[in-house]
Amino acid sequence: MSKIILTGDRPTGRLHVGHYVGSLRRRVELQNSGEYDKIYIMIADAQALTDNADNPEKVRQNIVEVALDYLSCGLDPEKSTLFIQSMIPELTELTFYYMNLVTVSRLQRNPTVKSEIQMRNFEASIPVGFFTYPISQAADITAFKATTVPVGEDQMPMLEQCKEIVHKFNTVYGEALVEPEILLPDNKACMRLPGTDGKAKMSKSLNNCIYLADTPEEVKKKVMSMYTDPDHIRIEDPGKLEGNCVFTYLDAFCKTEHFAEFLPEYNNLSELKEHYQRGGLGDVKVKKFLNQVLQAELEPIRQRRKEWEKNIPAVYEILKKGSEEAQKVAAQTLQDVKNAMKINYFDDNNLIKEQVEKYK
Ligand code: TRP
């Protein structure tokens, strides 16, 4: 069986380092591993509209931002198909048929939807489109017969729902859909990188994100003001690692080589952590190190972004080509789905014969 990846992001803002360690970095590795037959990366503008219905301009502006972030991280249009969700009308059609296979109470139990409803104060009036987006996400995945969906942990309930839909479809109508597997980040720090203020989630509204497109000065400023251990007041005091974002970020970004390059007094991250816990290591020194590590990782991304920013029409051309290709694939799956459901009234000679018999 072919190995096929599909994943994507909502274009509601620039991508940040949480997206990077949680997903983007992995995608590029998977792309370059040569182990996958096809890789589809989708800009989920239609999904973004499910909770931004009154702000289509925001979504429209951020499509190119997300595409630039993709390209600058090393996603290569020669190897991966980058496309825009709304350009594939087949996805909406699949969603409509899948809706019959899901109950309202099942959607209400989806933990990601639940917490998003709270976050957006939708409790009193949930837009139907938003409520049903897990179904549309199942359409995104199955349209491409994806076997592997690399995403963050928060997307686990979406994958569960998708599998249920696939299972139900295949049971009711016959095997037409492929059941996908989730691929989570392998490092715990990468699963959910906290905001620079120590809050669990990075979010634009909390102003606690480091963006891939931030300048070196912005990154440095954000690192130097990061939340650490509030009880680590004097250098001699023992420091705590739990909830200390500087160390969480080091867990996510630091490679052993960085020590030889930037902090040769230590051989590796465990030595640095031990010293911090023992006492005698100041926050500023650790922050300066983290800044160097981040700059080393982000600089090539920034450079590539600058190059692509000079050629915006080429970016749109990549998305257009990718969307054309993706549309053909989704059209084939939709055909398979309709055949399985016998929604093929004009290509089914038996149906006509049957009806002729009936009226004899
Ligand atoms: N829900 C994803 C996010 O918020 C975006 C997305 C839409 C997606 N469709 C998808 C991710 C299909 C993986 C597979 O970022």
Reading the block at residue 43, the tokens are 């800009």
**DSSP code at position 39:** E
Single out the residue of 144, 1, 13, 150 nearest to residue 75, CA to CA: 150
Among 87, 137, 192, which residue has the most ligand 1 atoms within 8 Å of its CB, making it the best to mutate? 137
Nearest residue (CA) to ligand 1, atom 15: 9
The pLDDT of residue 207: 86
Q: Is 15 in the pocket of ligand 1 (CB under 6 A)?
A: no
Between the CA of 137 and the centroid of ligand 1 the distance, in Å, is 6
The reply to whether ligand 1 has any atom less than 6 angstroms from the CB of 146 is no
CA of 104 to the centre of ligand 1 (A): 21
Rounded to the nearest angstrom, the distance between the alpha carbon of 303 and the centre of ligand 1 is 27
pLDDT of residue 186: 80
Q: Hey, what amino acid is at 278? A: R
Three-class SS of residue 248?
Answer: helix
Q: How many CB atoms lie within 10 A of CB 120?
A: 12
Region of residue 15 (left: phi > 0; alpha: psi -120 to 50; beta: else): beta
Ligand 1 lined by 149 (C-beta under 6 Å)? yes
Longest C-alpha distance within the chain, in Å? 97
| 6 within ligand 1 shell (Cβ under 6 A) | yes
Please report the DSSP string for 284-340 in residue order: HHHHHHHHHHHHHHHHHHHHHHHHHHTTHHHHHHHHHHHHHHHHHHHHHHHHHHHHH
pLDDT tens, per residue, the chain with 360 residues: 899 999 999 999 999 999 999 889 999 999 999 999 999 999 999 999 999 999 999 999 999 999 999 999 999 999 999 999 999 999 999 999 999 999 999 999 999 988 888 888 877 788 999 999 999 999 999 999 999 999 988 899 999 999 999 999 999 999 999 999 999 988 777 778 899 998 878 877 788 999 999 999 999 999 999 999 999 989 999 999 999 999 999 999 999 999 999 999 999 999 999 999 999 999 999 999 999 999 999 999 999 999 999 999 999 999 999 999 999 999 999 999 999 999 999 988 899 999 999 999
Nearest to 257 by CA among 209, 302, 307, 297: 297
| Burial of 47 from C-beta contacts in 10 A (0-12 / 13-18 / 19+) | buried
Residue type, 260: A
pLDDT at res. 118: 86
Measured by CA distance, the residue closest to atom 9 of ligand 1 is 137
Q: For residue 122, what pLDDT is reported?
A: 78
State the Cα–Cα distance between residues 49 and 107, nearest whole angstrom. Answer: 19
Pick from 129, 111, 14: which is nearest to 62 by CA? 14
Task: Give the H or E element holding residue 65.
Answer: helix 56-73
Tokens representing 183 are 């691929």
Whether 8 and 44 have beta carbons less than 8 Å apart is answered as: yes
pLDDT for the residue numbered 308: 97
Any idea what the Cα angle at residue 231 is, between residues 230 and 233, rounded to 5°?
95
